[in-house]
Amino acid sequence: MELDALFAEHRDAMFRYLARYTGDPDLAEDLVQETFLKVVVRPPKTGDNVKGWLFTVATNLAKDVRKTARRHEELLRRAGGIARLERSPADPSAEAERADAWRRVRAGLDALNHKERTALLLRAEGFAHREIATALGTTTGSIGTLVARALAKLATTVAL
């Protein structure tokens, strides 16, 4: 498949998934670009399940970036540094409600480990357990356990 067609088909879903994973839309956009750069540099060996391959690459990139981001946050905290400031919302009441929901879902997702978060978010994108297992380098049979555990954790932190 042509690269442009592939990009057009998967760009939005991948951006949404990465923004959910990282909590940072700017970073998500960069990671989408990085993922497709990998298609150019080192394309998948077979044409089977290209979408699964793309999301696996995206997941690995997001995992690495998140590690670095957490290190920077730790440095900031130790140095008594300054926090990122949010811009003023256009509609304060609607935005406040949305911001509150966003904080809840971020707190919930941040409390999960990489495998739990990835399993839940790929499942929300409609991936089958086999595809999620491939992205995580684990067995298909373990995905049910991961999802059950992640949902139970989220139910307590996010009050699902």
Residues in the site for another protein, rule: CB under 8 A?
Answer: 3-4, 7, 11-12, 15-16, 19-20, 25, 28-29, 32-33, 36-37, 40-41, 72, 75-76, 78-82, 84-88, 98, 101-102, 104-105, 120-121, 123-124, 128-129, 143-145, 147-149, 151-152, 154-155, 158, 160
Alpha-carbon 99 to chain mean position: 18
Q: What is the 8-class DSSP label of residue 111?
A: T
What is the spatial distance between Cα 37 and Cα 15, in angstroms, rounded to a whole number?
15
CB closer to another protein, 92 vs 144? 144
Nearest distance from residue 159's CB to another protein, in Å? 9
CB closer to another protein, 115 vs 123? 123
CB closer to another protein, 12 vs 110? 12
Q: Pull the structure tokens for residue 100.
A: 């509150």
Question: How big is the chain by its Cα radius of gyration, in Å?
Answer: 17
Residue by residue, DSSP assigns 46-84 as: SSTTHHHHHHHHHHHHHHHHHHHHHHHHHHHHHTT--PP
Nearest distance from residue 81's CB to another protein, in Å? 5
What is the spatial distance between Cα 72 and Cα 111, in angstroms, rounded to a whole number?
18
Nearest distance from residue 48's CB to another protein, in Å? 20
CB closer to another protein, 47 vs 159? 159
